[in-house]
Chain A
Amino acid sequence: MTRPRLGAPTAPGPVRTLLRSGRRVAELLATPLVPEDYLDLLDPLRSGADLRGRIVEIRPETADAVTVVIRPGRGWLGHVPGQYIRVGIDIDGVRHWRAYSLTHRADGSPAAGIPKDCIAITTKAIPDGKVSTHLVREARAGTLVMLDQATGDFTIPSPAPAKVLFLTAGSGVTPVIGMLRNHLGELADVAQVHCSPTAGDVIFARELEAYAASGRLALSVNLDDEHGVLDLARLDLLVPDWRERETWTCGPTGLLDAAERHWADAGVADRLHTERFRPTVVEPGEGGEITFLTSDVTVDADGSTPILDAGEEAGVLMPSGCRMGICFGCVVTMRQGAVRDLRTGDITLVEPGDELPVQTCVNAVAGSCDIEL
């Protein structure tokens, strides 16, 4: 449901002029803030606001996985099954952004207990996973979260291919359950191979089994603790015609790398679609490579040189100030990587997809980092 924003150029002639001048007066009244700052106090979910959502329910799926049901603001534009959204949630007062696949029905109708006009993400608590652990163990209904519109090309094209294979592991099942809930009726021949440590860890186990029991999904579950980690050579037994199937795979990096090799070896690499949640894992170290994205400059710096000095040395036009960490005149956005605070030795990690303003004058690269400059 999207309604035109106040003052947006969709309204006809005189109304439009009136709305425009109304907005102009509101801006004059609100300066140095903007009218939105006041409207956000009254209704943070109104249309035209930065996209936010309110958690309405957190539903356990397994011992360490939950589905988070969110009522998005009125600016929500909908999604294509298989896509993901970025969710920004405040943990101990600090905002963290992560990407999660959407698992609800795209047409807004209720399904699998998710109410109408709500969206759902499903997450599994992973060790050291700050946000996933928070969502599974701490988060409560009623919390306001920041959202981005849905994005991603891990989707089923239209018309749908005749034969489909889903190869999933762990929480990699989440974009696929979204596709199944939305598209199962349109897909003639669907097979799925899902890997999980134990039977109790299979997210959406009952729903998948129900699809299988009704004959609409040829499901094989590989339990790593019982059967050992899936050897892709076994695909010939599980899904003999896998080479002919349009395949979507999502799971840990190990599985995805193995699948890409396996499909390439079989000469059908173009049939494989992969979704990587964590494209690179940031490993903190001492010194490393600093990439200035806009300037297109990469430099190597040691662990005691502030990013500011390294950048200036390389000819990047760095904003700067007091050079001792008090004035925040040098703050720039770090897209991903790790930096060490030279005053305290503390490491700050920024995962891909997250971003963080950093003070370049008191931080040195710790491993690698990408700077928006």
Chain B
Amino acid sequence: MTLAPERRAISPTEAHHSGAQHASSKPSGINPRLSVTSDTVRPPRPAYKKSGRPNADAHLTPEDIEAIGVELDALRKEVMDSRGARDAAYIRKVIATQRYLEMGSRALLLFSGVKVKGVRPAWWLGTAGLSVAKILENMEIGHNVMHGQWDWMRDPKIHSTAWEWDNASPSSQWKHSHNEIHHTFTNVLGRDNDLGYGILRVDEDQKWNLFFLFQPIWHVGNALLFEYSIAAYDLELGRYVATKKRMSEDEKAKFRSDAKEVVDKIKRQATKDYVVHPVLSAATGSSRTTLTANVVANLVRNVWTNTVIICGHFPPGIATFEKTSIEGETRGEWYVRQMLGSGNISGSKAMHVMTGNLSHQRIRDLMERYDLPYVTGSLGKQAASVYWKVVELSLPNKVEGRRRRDIVRLAAKKAWRKKSLGRF
């Protein structure tokens, strides 16, 4: 191209705005995921996975997968075409409700220390309202807006490129790790970091190591501090710590600027919740109670969002995929992977609003027709099953001829030896 400015050729990873270090999702040539059909013959799905568990979609023929792709494309188009003034009014109403609720709750909390007959009514009401406001903001508004679900309105204020959510993780970094990595590589072992967030073993096909023995503790800690673990996770803090020595200066600089962005965001969030609002409440002697109210509201939001998310990702019956299975993947195959890799929650309309409307009846019908497992249940049941799975998978898989406690003991011994060796 003669019109292009003199510039050295850029590699796909460099062109990537989020930096060279993130896993690039660029396929070579025209992206096969743009089409439900494929020029090449797609390899059949293996009947069993490494762990010996059956593959949920092994019975689908390439024609089935293509038909599912066509059907979901049609459903997608139907949904796109039906969007209109009612939907726009809905999201604006939710946003307005959330903002009034937050303002009202925070106003109440200015009097959070005032006692009436031994109780602090403003604290209880204000904390409840603020918790709900934060959950609404994160789930039904923030998550969906940042997903681009409302971009079609062309309203620059309710747009994926502009939204900043009430959470420690800056929206730019969340969008990268969630929309790009997670939804491109949903439940692909080794590619989708959401699969256990790198600290939990939630699938038999994930390798066990000693670290996972204590995962019930990691899990509860993760739930309580969820907004900060999301931030650390989106920042890829773990990867930085592990591979820092091998990183180039550019990669390190990129990490530092991302880290600064996170720290600035956390500072602003914490100043609002833990400094400014308590200070304003000092007039009624309510500083301490407003501080606790904000702490509790953030904890409630953390545990709630964590619960919803683990129910969407980790209940028993959710499928995982091997890296090789997605090479040259078509749009139909991607759809199948999305369906098999997500769980749903049954419940009232209010429940769906509070969980960001992550469940889908039409999809259920389709999956049942193709004999694919549609994972669903009440929030309580699904959450309990995940908690149980976290406990269960803290131990290694059962292998014939070996006792699990021997495997654990051996791993512990190895780790101990390595540690002592390292000391000398």
Chain A interface residues toward B at CB < 8 A = 25, 28-29, 31-33, 37-38, 41, 90, 92-96, 295-299, 304-306, 309, 312-329, 331, 342-344, 356-357, 359, 361-362
Contacts and interface: CB of A to CB of B under 8 A. Distances in A.
A124 B3 CA distance: 42
Contact of A299 (B3, B89, B100, B331): B3
29 contacts: A29-B276, A29-B277, A32-B166, A41-B96, A92-B85, A95-B153, A95-B154, A95-B155, A96-B154, A297-B4, A305-B30, A315-B7, A317-B15, A320-B15, A320-B17, A320-B26, A321-B25, A321-B180, A324-B31, A324-B331, A326-B148, A326-B179, A327-B180, A329-B18, A329-B180, A331-B148, A343-B76, A344-B77, A357-B159
Contacts of A329: 17-18, 175-176, 179-180
B242 interface: no
A328 B276 contact: no
Given A321-B179, A322-B184, A323-B25, A314 B31 contact: no
A324 B5 contact: no
6 A-B pairs closest in CB distance: A93-B88, A327-B179, A328-B148, A319-B17, A32-B164, A324-B33
B84 interface: yes
B1 A314 contact: yes
A41 B94 CA distance: 12
A299 B2 CA distance: 9
- Main secondary structure on chain B at its contact with chain A? helix
Contacts of A306: 30-31, 34
Interface residues of B, number: 64
A302 B120 CA distance: 68
Contact of A328 (B3, B15, B73, B175): B175
Contacts, number: 159
Contacts of B265: 32
Contact of B165 (A32, A295, A316, A324): A32
B15 A318 contact: yes
Interface stretch (B196-204, B267-275, B344-352, B363-371): B267-275
Given A295-B5, A320-B26, A322-B180, A92 B268 contact: no
Contacts of A321: 25, 175-176, 179-180
B183 interface: yes
Nearest to B183: A326
Contacts of A324: 31, 33-34, 184, 331, 334
B269 A357 contact: no
A94 B89 CA distance: 11
Contact of B161 (A31, A33, A326, A331): A331
